[in-house]
Amino acid sequence: MRMAISVAVSGASGYVGGEVLRVFSEHPDVEFGSLTAHSSAGDLLGVHQPHLRTLADRTIVETTPETLAGHDVVVLALPHGASGEIAAQLPAETLVIDCGADHRLASAEAWAEYYGGEHSGTWPYGMPELITASGHQRDSLAGAKRIAVPGCNVTAVTLALQPGVSAGVVDPTDIVAVLANGYSGAGKKLATNLLASEGLGAASAYGVGGVHRHIPEIVQNLGSAGGEDVRISFTPTLVPMARGILATVTAPLAQGVTADEVRAAWETAYADEPFVHLLPEGQWPTTAATLGANTCLVQVTVDEKAGRVVVISAIDNLVKGTAGAALQSMNVALGRPETTGLQLRGVAP
Ligand SMILES: NC(=O)c1ccc[n+]([C@@H]2O[C@H](COP(=O)([O-])OP(=O)(O)OC[C@H]3O[C@@H](n4cnc5c(N)ncnc54)[C@H](OP(=O)(O)O)[C@@H]3O)[C@@H](O)[C@H]2O)c1
């Protein structure tokens, strides 16, 4: 007999909370308990998430240890800094999955430098595919009671480059990543630069010059994959789409390595991964092909004249970039098949 899994979702009125509700709804054993948030407490969920018809009549309640108590799983989809405090008040036996940044970084110094404030500690990292010294991160997630879901940009860049770093076919000291990002990555908050009148006809860079908060997390991951002295120039750009990340990641080809060896590194790394797909040679990832799906599409080639490996990856920032990674990690933590409830089919065109 299958066991039901009761799940509370905090931040249910936001983009990530809404996507957690949509994605987790596809899991055959998930039953939603409390749906919590902050300023929207007391509203019907359908006011804030009109696309979630099956949950439209549920009432959002305030986020407290009491409203989140009594569930098998609590998913936190709160602004960074808010989840550390509430998570510390949840029982040790509850599986808490944090989609925010509070528990991702191992280094308290990196937290202080990029986020500021007190570091909430480090939880098992919710990227099952991450290459580690002993295998893959999924091995560390089995039985976990606390999971830190990766940042969306971090997922796109890590999955793009980790095979090359792990196999030693790229030089990790000179990585350049430029990303095209959909607006939902910024959350629902109101800001002038996020208005349609500013963004619909424009592409614009942000977090430029080594200050973006996802940088230390990328360095941490590529270090996990075997990279020494990882250095990255990372620049995201907002482009007029609601969802999606297209990452272009390049790094110098390591000395004496052939193009065939480069391709073999990516083929080997992702041959058995259910959600990370190296496309046939010559086919380039598009964000559109990942929308709504828990997939990361990857292509790699060598620019011989530049002496650099060029990798393109595409994800849906709200699915593989967060809510899908949360469900995938929950499955592993609870000993369920990793792919249960997760979508390989995108929405196209
Ligand atoms: N957007 C993405 O693509 C993405 C991807 C990966 C990770 N993340 C991370 O996921 C988290 C949520 O992002 P988002 O894009 O969903 O943001 P969002 O759309 O702005 O939603 C924020 C949610 O948090 C609630 N909230 C705000 N302050 C709170 C507080 N003090 N206590 C309890 N609830 C509070 C809000 O509730 P009210 O509306 O009721 O005030 C809302 O439900 C962030 O940490 C973000 O960095 C986002």
The yes/no answer on whether domain 5-149+320-333 falls in CATH 3.40.50.720 is yes
CA 14 to centroid of ligand 1, rounded, Å: 5
Catalytic: which of 77, 152, 246, 333? 152
CATH number for the domain formed by residue range(s) 153-317: 3.30.360.10
Distances (CA, A) of 76 to 21, 22, 83, 345: 12, 15, 7, 26
Closest CA to 281 of 268, 296, 295, 266: 266
- CB atoms near residue 92 (< 10 Å): 7
- Look at residue 103 and give its three-state secondary structure: coil
The mean of the pLDDT values for the chain is: 97
Q: Would you call 292 helix, strand, or coil by DSSP?
A: coil
Rg (CA), the chain: 19
* pLDDT value of position 349: 87
Per domain, the residue ranges of the chain are 5-149+320-333, 153-317
Write the pLDDT tens digit of every residue in 235-255: 999 999 999 999 999 999 999
State pLDDT tens for residues 151-160. 999 999 999 9
Question: For position 145, what pLDDT does the model report?
Answer: 98
The confidence score (pLDDT) of residue 32 equals 98
Atom of ligand 1 nearest to the CA of 40: 40
Q: Is residue 294 within 8 Å of residue 111, measured between CB atoms? A: no
How far, CA to CA in Å, does 193 sit from each of 121, 178, 205, 208?
32, 19, 11, 15
- What is the C-alpha to C-alpha distance for residues 137 and 229, in angstroms, rounded to an integer? 21
pLDDT in tens, 92-147: 999 999 999 999 999 999 999 999 989 999 999 999 999 999 999 999 999 999 99
End-to-end CA distance of the chain: 39
Q: Residues lining ligand 1, judged by CB closer than 6 Å?
A: 11-17, 37-40, 63, 77-80, 82, 99-101, 151-152, 184-185, 187-189, 317-318, 321-322
How far does residue 17's CA lie from ligand 1's centre (Å)?
Answer: 7
Judged by DSSP in three states, 297 sits in strand
Q: Are 247 and 153 in contact (CB under 8 A)?
A: yes
Atom of ligand 1 nearest to the CA of 41: 40
Please report the atom of ligand 1 found closest to the CA of residue 102: 45
Question: What pLDDT shows up at residue 212?
Answer: 97
Q: pLDDT tens across 42-58, in order?
A: 999 999 999 999 999 99
The DSSP annotation for 182-222 comes to: -GGGG-S---GGGSHHHHTT--EE-STTTT-TTHHHHHHHH
- For the entire predicted model, the pTM comes to 0.98
pLDDT for residue 1 is more than 70: no
CA dist., res. 346 & res. 349, Å (int):
9
- Dihedral (C-alpha) 169, 319, 183, 159: value to the nearest 10 degrees? 0
Is 152 catalytic? The answer is yes
Give me the pLDDT at residue 186, please.
96
pLDDT digits (tens, 9 = 90+) for 298-332: 999 999 999 999 999 999 999 999 999 999 999 99
Query: Ligand 1 center to residue 40 CA distance, Å?
Result: 12
* Cα distance between residue 80 and residue 300, in whole Å: 33
Question: Residue 65: helix, strand or coil by DSSP?
Answer: helix
Give residue 231 CA to ligand 1 midpoint distance, Å.
29
According to the model, what pLDDT value does residue 44 have?
98
CB proximity list for 66: less than 8 A, separation 6 or greater: none
Cα–Cα distance, 86 to 226 (Å, whole number):
34
pLDDT in tens, 216-233: 999 999 999 999 999 999
Tens of pLDDT, residue by residue over 49-85, are: 999 999 999 999 999 999 999 999 999 999 988 999 9
Average pLDDT over residues 290-298: 98
Backbone angles phi, psi at 172, to 5 degrees: -80, 5
The ligand 1 atom nearest the CA atom of 62: 33
